[in-house]
Each structure stands twice: as C-alpha cells, then as structure tokens.
C-alpha cells in the first residue's frame, strides 16, 4: 500500500483544468505532483511537461493527411509519442500515475498503449479517469441507455457520422482493444461525474465517483445583484457545438431577445483560450453550460464557485446523488429551447432567484468539490 505522505504523483493529460486543480489540492496536502500534456489544444492549460501536437496546420497537415490516407499511419501521433520519450528520466519513479482518460494524449490507440504500458512499467501504480469520451461511455450512449446523450444530434440527423467521427472512433476495434488492455494494466477507473459513473457502474476495476476538484481559494465569489440588467454568457466550443447542445441555447436566446429585448445583455463567444474565457465568464450573471448530460462539466463548476446562475446538466440522478432539492443550486437545461427560454425569462423577471441560486451554487462547490477535500479522496482510493 502506498503511504499518504510525501507521494510522487504523475498526472497525464488535461481536460478543462481538472488535473491542474487536483494538482493544487495534492500539493497543498504536501505531495509532489507533475502534470504532463499538450494543454488541450486551443485552451492552452498549464502543464509541467509540455508536449507538442505537430502537423496541425498548413502544408504539414496536408502531408500528414496524405500519409494517413495512403497508409493509415498518423505522423502527428508518432511524433507526440516520440516527444514523450524525450522526457524519459522525468517520468520515472512515481508512486501513482493517473491518466485523464484511457486515451490521454488523443493519439493512435497503439501509440497510447505503448505509452501507457511504459509508464506502468517504470512507476508503481496506474489509475485511469472515466472522464471524456471513451469506449465504455460511447458504447453506453450508442445503445441508448441514457434518456438523452451526446449522441442525440447524430440519432436526430443534425450531424453526420463524419462530423461525429472524433466520438464514434471510440467504438472501433482498436479502441475497444485499448480499453481492454488498459483495464488489465491499471489498478482502477475513477469517474469524475455522473455522466461517466452511470456507464461504468458494475464494470471491472471501477472504483467509484470522485467529484471534480475546484480550487475555491483561487476563485472568488461575487454575489448576484438584484438591481442590474443580467448578463447571459454563452461560450461556444465550435467543435462540440451540437454535442454540448449549443443549438438549444442559441434558439432559446433568440426567444429571449424577442420577448425581453432590453431586459438583459447576451454575450456569445466562440473558441476562446481558457484565460479569455474565464475573463468573459467572470463578467456574467447567468451562464449557459451544456444540455446533453446529467452532471456539471468543469466550466459549470467553476462558474458556480463564482456565484453564477447555471443552466447546465442537473438531472434527477445528480440531485439524488448529492441530495439536492429541485430548483436549487443549478437549473437543469433540457434539450428544449422553449423550456430553456422560459427559465431565462423567469430569472430575468425575478432577480431575487438569481441571488439565492448564486449563494447556493457557491456553498455546494465548497461542500462537494473543494479541491483539498477531493484530493484527499483520490489519495484514499490510490492507497487501496
């Protein structure tokens, strides 16, 4: 069993600042933590060991695509794997290695497995987060085990299979093989929210759900103000527009603009780097997060810590898990533009509700998502 004291921990990959916040919690508890990743594309999150995702633009991308079409070989994937091995000495001797996903680098499954097997062999324990799309969660959604899911836009014909290739690839034989191989190698899977907990329940080596860590010491709380025009913020990631239910939010905002044209300010952005995104979010009162899920994503949790009112995934499974009454803490955004618009109009017309929801949101984050409390939960699971 690994001691809780002075552990060396390697976090591999980053989505939505999850591993950064966990690192801050673990460091505050006295542990040594190294984070390796590419910063998650345009979001550019901080990492200690930065990997470069090459051949993404211009002639290099054309060359990479040509080679892939001719041979099925991804040059960018191979170059990233080679980049990792340049840091061999820095990646040895850790008590715990945790992957953000069983495909943590977003490269070819065979390259992912080469990396993961090597990391397992030169370190003590390996854990994997059920976070983001993977074989188990996509299979669960494809079999329509959710009431609604990120695959609904595909089922409804809003997008083509080609558009959803980055998600559907996880159903391939290679990704199934990667899942099975990683499952054998690792000590266990840990879900980060209910959208992954539900598919993983009863699966081999599933250790349970640990809520996303939020650094409440870094995120200040700003109370809602009743006598001001509320700012509604919709920060779009165009790559995930339909997957996150962005079309429902845009349709709802059109209704709000018609029915309350001068009663609110609507701010809509696209593909902002993380630093710019949080600046815009901080200036808002109501945040539109996502629709097609059951639990809050990372952006929603950070906004709740700030005291924003969230229209997000807040389904009954989430309320039951955390014992939260209806219409408290966060508001459930259903895949229905009319219903979303009605919630927004209610919030515009009744500012006292915004004040109460903002206070409840911050209290919830401090209770359930405090980064030090969450870090302690990880330490306890890793020590099993």
pLDDT digits (tens, 9 = 90+) for 260-300: 999 999 999 999 988 899 999 999 999 999 999 999 988 89
Sequence length of the chain is 384
pLDDT digits (tens, 9 = 90+) for 104-121: 998 999 999 999 999 999
For residue 43, what pLDDT is reported? 62
DSSP bridge pairs for 9: 33, 96
Q: Which two tokens stand for residue 70?
A: 């001719």
Q: Which residues pair with 311 in a beta bridge?
A: 288, 331
CA-nearest of 104, 127, 117, 100 to 189 is 127
Spatial neighbors of 25 by CB under 8 A, at least 6 apart, are 213, 215, 371, 372, 373, 374, 375, 376
Give the 3-state DSSP-derived string for 102-168, with helices as H, strands as E and coil as C: CCCCCCCHHHHHHHHHHHHHHCCEEEEEECCCCHHHHHHHHCCCCCCCCCHHHHCCCCCCCCCHHHH
Predicted local distance difference test score (pLDDT) of residue 55: 60
The chain-wide mean pLDDT, for the chain, equals 92
Predicted local confidence at residue 74, as pLDDT:
76
Least trusted range by pLDDT, from 76-85, 159-168, 182-191, 339-348: 76-85
**Quick one: average pLDDT of 14-18?**
87
CA 158 – CA 250 distance, rounded (Å): 15
Please state which of the ranges 28-42, 56-70, 319-333 shows the lowest mean pLDDT: 56-70
Least reliable range by pLDDT among 11-15, 63-67, 172-176, 332-336:
63-67
Any idea what DSSP says for residue 275?
H
- Residue at token pair 């595909």: 154
* Chain centroid offset of residue 3 CA: 29
pLDDT band for position 1 (cuts 50, 70, 90): very low
User: E-assigned strands of the chain?
Assistant: 8-12, 32-37, 49-50, 96-99, 125-130, 188-191, 206-209, 231-236, 265-270, 286-288, 309-312, 331-332
Q: Which two three-digit tokens encode residue 256? A: 């709000």
pLDDT the model gives residue 71: 76
| β-bridge pairing 231-236 and 125-130 | unpaired
Task: Give residue 2's pLDDT.
Answer: 43
End-to-end Cα spacing for the chain: 7
Confidence of residue 3 (pLDDT cuts 50, 70, 90): very low
Higher pLDDT pick, 73 / 52: 52
Rounded to an integer, the average pLDDT of 49-59 is: 75
Q: What pLDDT does residue 8 have?
A: 97
Which residue, among 297, 262, 267, 263, has the nearest Cα to 279 in the 3D structure? Answer: 267
Please state, for a pLDDT cut of 90, what percent of the chain lies above it: 80
Domains identified in the chain and CATH numbers: 8-213+370-382 (3.40.50.2000), 231-368 (3.40.50.2000)
Identify whether the C-beta of residue 18 lies closer than 8 Å to the C-beta of residue 103: no
Q: For 34-49, what is each residue's pLDDT tens digit?
A: 999 886 665 678 899 9
More confident residue, 80 or 201: 201
Residue 203, helix vs strand vs coil: coil
Specify whether the CB–CB gap between 255 and 341 falls below 8 A. yes
Handedness of CA 97, 368, 146, 289 (dihedral sign): negative
274 or 134: which leads in pLDDT: 134
Exposed / middle / buried, residue 78 (Cβ in 10 Å: 0-12, 13-18, 19+): middle
Distance between CA atoms of residues 93 and 324, nearest Å: 42
Q: Three-class SS of residue 327?
A: coil
The DSSP annotation for 173-196 comes to: HHHHHHHHHHHHHSSEEEESSHHH
Per residue in 165-220, pLDDT (tens digit) is 999 999 999 999 999 999 999 999 999 999 999 999 999 899 999 999 999 999 99
Q: What is the pTM of this model?
A: 0.90
In angstroms, the Cα distances linking 272 to 215, 236, 240, 295, 365 are 21, 8, 13, 23, 24
């Amino acid at each position: 069993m690994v001691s809780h004291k002075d552990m060396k921990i390697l976090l591999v990959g980053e989505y939505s600042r999850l591993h950064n916040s966990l690192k801050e919690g673990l460091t505050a508890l006295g542990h040594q933590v190294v984070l390796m990743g590419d910063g998650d594309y345009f979001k550019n999150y901080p990492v200690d060991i930065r990997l470069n995702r090459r051949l993404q633009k211009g002639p290099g991308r054309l060359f990479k695509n040509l080679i892939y079409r001719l041979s099925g070989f991804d040059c960018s994937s191979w170059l990233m794997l080679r980049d990792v091995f340049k840091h061999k000495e820095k990646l040895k001797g850790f008590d715990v290695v945790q992957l953000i996903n069983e495909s943590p680098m977003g490269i070819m499954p065979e390259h992912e497995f080469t990396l993961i097997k090597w990391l397992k062999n030169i370190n003590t324990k390996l854990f994997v987060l059920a976070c983001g799309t993977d074989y188990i969660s996509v299979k669960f959604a494809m079999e329509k085990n959710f009431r609604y899911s990120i695959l609904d836009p595909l089922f409804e014909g809003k997008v083509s299979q080609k558009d959803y290739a980055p998600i559907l690839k996880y159903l391939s034989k290679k990704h199934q093989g990667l899942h099975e191989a990683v499952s054998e190698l690792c000590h266990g899977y840990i879900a980060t929210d209910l959208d992954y907990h539900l598919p993983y329940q009863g699966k081999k080596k599933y250790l349970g759900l640990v809520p996303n860590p939020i650094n409440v010491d870094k995120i200040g709380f700003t109370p809602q103000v009743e006598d001001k025009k509320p700012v509604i913020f919709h920060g779009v990631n165009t790559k995930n527009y339909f997957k996150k239910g962005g079309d429902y939010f845009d349709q709802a905002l059109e209704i709000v603009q018609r029915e309350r044209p001068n009663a609110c300010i609507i701010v809509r952005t696209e593909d902002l780097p993380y630093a710019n995104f949080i600046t815009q979010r901080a200036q808002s009162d109501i945040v539109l997060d996502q629709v097609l899920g059951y639990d809050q994503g990372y952006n929603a949790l950070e906004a709740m810590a700030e005291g924003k009112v969230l229209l997000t995934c807040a389904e009954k499974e989430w309320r039951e898990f955390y014992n939260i009454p209806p219409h408290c803490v966060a508001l459930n955004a259903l895949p229905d533009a009319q219903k979303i618009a009605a919630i927004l109009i209610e919030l515009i017309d009744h500012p006292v509700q915004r004040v109460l929801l903002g206070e409840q949101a911050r209290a919830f984050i401090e209770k359930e998502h405090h980064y030090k409390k969450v870090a302690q939960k990880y330490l306890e699971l890793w020590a099993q």
